[in-house]
Amino acid sequence: MSEVKNRGGFGGKLVAILAAAGSAIGLGNIWRFPYITSENGGGAFIIIYLGCILFLGLPLLIAEFSVGHNTKKNPIDAFATIKRGWGWLGALGLVSVFLIMGYYFVISGWTLNYAYASATNGIGGDFGAFFKEFTSATWAPLICTYLFIVLNHIIIIGGVQGGIEKASKVMMPLLFVILIVLAIYSLWLPEGREALGNVFTPDFSKVTGKTFLDAMGQAFFTLSVGMGAMLIYGSYFQNGTKLSGTAISVVSLDTLVALTAAVIIFSAGVENESGPQLAFVAMPKVFSTMPLGNFWATLFFLLLALAALSSTISMHEAVTSYFVEKRGMSRSAGATLVTIGAMALATVASLSLGVWDGVRIAGMNIFSLLDNFTAIVMLPLLGILTSIFVGWVWKKEDMRAELTAEGGVDATTYPVIRFLLRYVCPVLVSIVFIFGIIDFISSL
């Protein structure tokens, strides 16, 4: 019991939802979801995506919460406690989340620069050129990235309640307010409402095997599943927290934010722009034509920065917990090690958009490689393995006890969750994974 007490935990059920929703809602919702949607046929992609969220993402999120909450341990020890010899699955998740940090921190850094530049009218007239020049420069993006990592560091060394919980309580309400203000404003514009219809209308001709893989990868990414972040948060939930209820709240909030972000972006009339530049090139361009454009642009990039920060602290915490609990380091020493490691990898990722652009693997620079490898390979793989673990390896009675007692999945939904985890997730994710990879490789 004292061991559990020492590792800290969230003070209440609402804050558990806020923190986990903070992990889920991030660049994935506001930066990635809109451009992946527009690349994959709009409404058609959204339908497939929602299916992935409901039938694959939600059960996996419940599974991951359960493993953390049941053991109250870091990802490696959590898996190993439930079944000896399975600690590697936690380690695989932590390696993946570390790789994600490498490029995610770089984009997070950009949001700071863009918020500042928008507020001070510093972007100028050519938005594409500004983006290219800034992101491929050596020092400016690196300094922003380091600043963002240091913000993370400060929150993490504050501890679970003093750092993560406090930050979530401030950041999440602010994020929702900004999002709602921006959504109302964009729907108020008549051309906004018109553009919306075009984007959400399904275009099934663009659907390929890769579309399913993209939808699934996006669903896993946006819910932060498989990588230890949700597991570690689950381990901090109070006894008696309803895991299924918390997961449903997180999934609902996350989906709502993704759809709202798509509404904001597409209603601004940028549906013709696609790719990762959507948020950074098209949005400032659109804002610049509006009254009070700088104000709206600043608000938009603050929204991105807040979303990114509440996600990156969960990544940082997952890896830090390993050094603290498994390697016996103090919280500040463990966090410092993660911070330095993240800075090193993010430096490589950032420079790979500029001076190191020539270093390419499978035609991709390091930045794209980190993004693609984690989204297309690691996330589905972790999804398959986690569902096999919870559905087949974890002793049935123990898993049932966790989910039906404290976990709160009632007797009728428990068999559904178990069925999804035992059969639907491993089979469906494997099929999509294999066909998607074949499709992806042949497109290279």
Which two tokens mark 342?
């993240």
CB 193 within 8 A of CB 266: no
**Which residue has its beta carbon closest to ligand PFF?**
28
Closer to ligand PFF at the Cβ: 246 or 294? 246
- DSSP annotation string for 68-105: HHHH-S-HHHHHHHHSTT-HHHHHHHHHHHHHHHHHHH
Residue 264 binds ligand PFF, judged by CB under 6 A: no
Q: Which of 10, 18, 20, 26 binds ligand PFF (CB under 6 A)?
A: 26
Alpha-carbon gap, residue 36 to 41, rounded angstroms: 9
Alpha-carbon gap, residue 60 to 234, rounded angstroms: 13
Which two tokens mark 224?
């932060």
Closer to ligand PFF at the Cβ: 123 or 342? 342
Residue 38 binds ligand PFF, judged by CB under 6 A: no
Helix (H, G, I), strand (E, B) or coil at 202: strand
Residue 100 binds ligand PFF, judged by CB under 6 A: yes
Closer to ligand PFF at the Cβ: 316 or 418? 316
CB 339 within 8 A of CB 105: no
Closer to ligand PFF at the Cβ: 64 or 273? 64
Stretch that binds ligand PFF, among 25-33, 50-58, 338-346, 397-405 (CB under 6 A): 25-33
Alpha-carbon gap, residue 199 to 37, rounded angstroms: 9
Alpha-carbon gap, residue 175 to 359, rounded angstroms: 37
**Distance of closest approach, residue 224 Cβ to ligand PFF, in angstroms:** 4
Closer to ligand PFF at the Cβ: 28 or 109? 28
Stretch that binds ligand PFF, among 27-35, 46-54, 113-121, 333-341 (CB under 6 A): 27-35
Residue 311 binds ligand PFF, judged by CB under 6 A: yes
**Distance of closest approach, residue 34 Cβ to ligand PFF, in angstroms:** 12
Stretch that binds ligand PFF, among 2-10, 23-31, 49-57, 175-183 (CB under 6 A): 23-31
Which two tokens mark 274?
């696609």
Alpha-carbon gap, residue 75 to 88, rounded angstroms: 9
Alpha-carbon gap, residue 432 to 216, rounded angstroms: 8
Q: Which of 44, 89, 142, 227 binds ligand PFF (CB under 6 A)?
A: 227
Alpha-carbon gap, residue 246 to 20, rounded angstroms: 8
Residue 246 binds ligand PFF, judged by CB under 6 A: no
Stretch that binds ligand PFF, among 24-32, 34-42, 156-164, 179-187 (CB under 6 A): 24-32
Alpha-carbon gap, residue 315 to 441, rounded angstroms: 29
- Phi/psi region, residue 71 (left: phi>0; alpha: psi -120 to 50; beta: rest), is alpha
Q: Which of 27, 52, 106, 232 binds ligand PFF (CB under 6 A)?
A: 27
Closer to ligand PFF at the Cβ: 123 or 335? 335
**Distance of closest approach, residue 161 Cβ to ligand PFF, in angstroms:** 20
Residue 224 binds ligand PFF, judged by CB under 6 A: yes
Closer to ligand PFF at the Cβ: 179 or 195? 179
Closer to ligand PFF at the Cβ: 221 or 280? 221
Closer to ligand PFF at the Cβ: 57 or 141? 57
**Distance of closest approach, residue 100 Cβ to ligand PFF, in angstroms:** 5
- DSSP annotation string for 252-287: HHHHHHHHHHHHHHHHTT-TT--STTIIIIIHHHHH
Helix (H, G, I), strand (E, B) or coil at 216: helix
- Judged by CB under 6 A, how many residues of this single chain contact ligand PFF? 16
Q: Which of 112, 155, 229, 349 binds ligand PFF (CB under 6 A)?
A: 229
Residue 19 binds ligand PFF, judged by CB under 6 A: no
Alpha-carbon gap, residue 71 to 4, rounded angstroms: 10
- Cβ–Cβ contacts within 10 Å for residue 204, how many? 12
Contacts of 65 (CB under 8 A, 6+ apart): 20, 230, 231, 233, 234, 237, 243, 246, 247, 407
Q: How many Cα atoms occupy the beta-carbon half-sphere of 238 within 13 Å?
A: 12
Closer to ligand PFF at the Cβ: 108 or 294? 108
Q: Which of 134, 221, 236, 367 binds ligand PFF (CB under 6 A)?
A: 221
> Within 314-373, which residues bind ligand PFF (CB under 6 A)?
314-315
Q: Which of 18, 19, 21, 29 binds ligand PFF (CB under 6 A)?
A: 29
Residue 259 binds ligand PFF, judged by CB under 6 A: no
Over the Cα atoms of the chain, what is R_g?
A: 21
Alpha-carbon gap, residue 172 to 191, rounded angstroms: 30
Residue 163 binds ligand PFF, judged by CB under 6 A: no
Residue 102 binds ligand PFF, judged by CB under 6 A: no
Contacts of 369 (CB under 8 A, 6+ apart): 361, 362
| Binding site residues, ligand PFF, CB under 6 A | 23-24, 26-29, 97, 100, 221-222, 224, 227, 229, 311, 314-315
